[in-house]
Amino acid sequence: MYEDLKKRIVEVLVYLESKGLNYGRSGNISVRASGEHIVITPSGLVKSKLKPEDLVIVDYNGEIVEGFNKPSSELPLHLAIYRAYEYFNAIIHAHSIYTGILSVMREPLPPILEEMTIYLGGDIRVADYAPFGTRELAENSVEALRNRKAVILANHGVVACGIDLEDALEVLELVERAAQIYVFSRLTGRVTTLPIDVVEHQKKIFLERIKLRKEQEVSE
């Protein structure tokens, strides 16, 4: 099932590796394939070398519907996000460098660029630490994602969410680019964030877009 979607996920995995946004066996991707199924990457395999048939289809209880591999160990995280935020239909969890630096520092990414507030919802929070694959990590991430499209996982990586896979990929690239700018700015000794009134105004634009998306999904 969902052959075209599986092929696109594999393409994105190769792209992430080529751009230094993920590496090796780390990271995972999932996409809502329908109201009943989620396509997700398998656990323990080199992501850039996956084939479409390596991907796993699960239901919303996490039970395998199709596939011979074990689903990602972060399946609880993906399921929790989908349950909490119905407007997200794709999730990319990556181990990119500059968001990785912030995850180790356990420091949020402040709103330094206007596109961050318009497209991401504002600053990117750091979810409280919990071991990978745990229910606690899933719960912490869901909380830190409130009114945002991305979250940094303490000592771990980043999670980017979108209305579809292409949107989630755009979110991931924007967060990593902003993190890189922030880290280098910190090295210069000076970081200037956006004015508070600008941030609040652009947050309203972001939330209105999410509201419209919710209404569209209800009507579809």
Is residue 139 annotated as a catalytic residue, yes or no?
A: no
Q: Rounded to 5 degrees, what angle do the CA atoms 89, 173, 122 make?
A: 75
Burial state string for 124-155 with b = 16 or more CB within 10 A and e = fewer than 16? bbbbeebeeeeeebbbbbbebbeebbbbbbbe
Cα separation of 45 and 194, whole Å?
Answer: 41
List the one residue out of 50, 45, 36 whose CA is nearest residue 6: 50
Cα separation of 105 and 120, whole Å?
Answer: 21
Between the alpha carbon of residue 168 and those of residues 31, 119, 207, 219, the distances in Å are 10, 11, 17, 23
Which helix or strand (DSSP H or E) is residue 74 part of? none
- What count of residues does the chain have? 220
Contact 89, 169 (CB under 8 A): no
Which one is catalytic: 3, 11, 17, 74? 74
- Active-site annotation, residues: 74
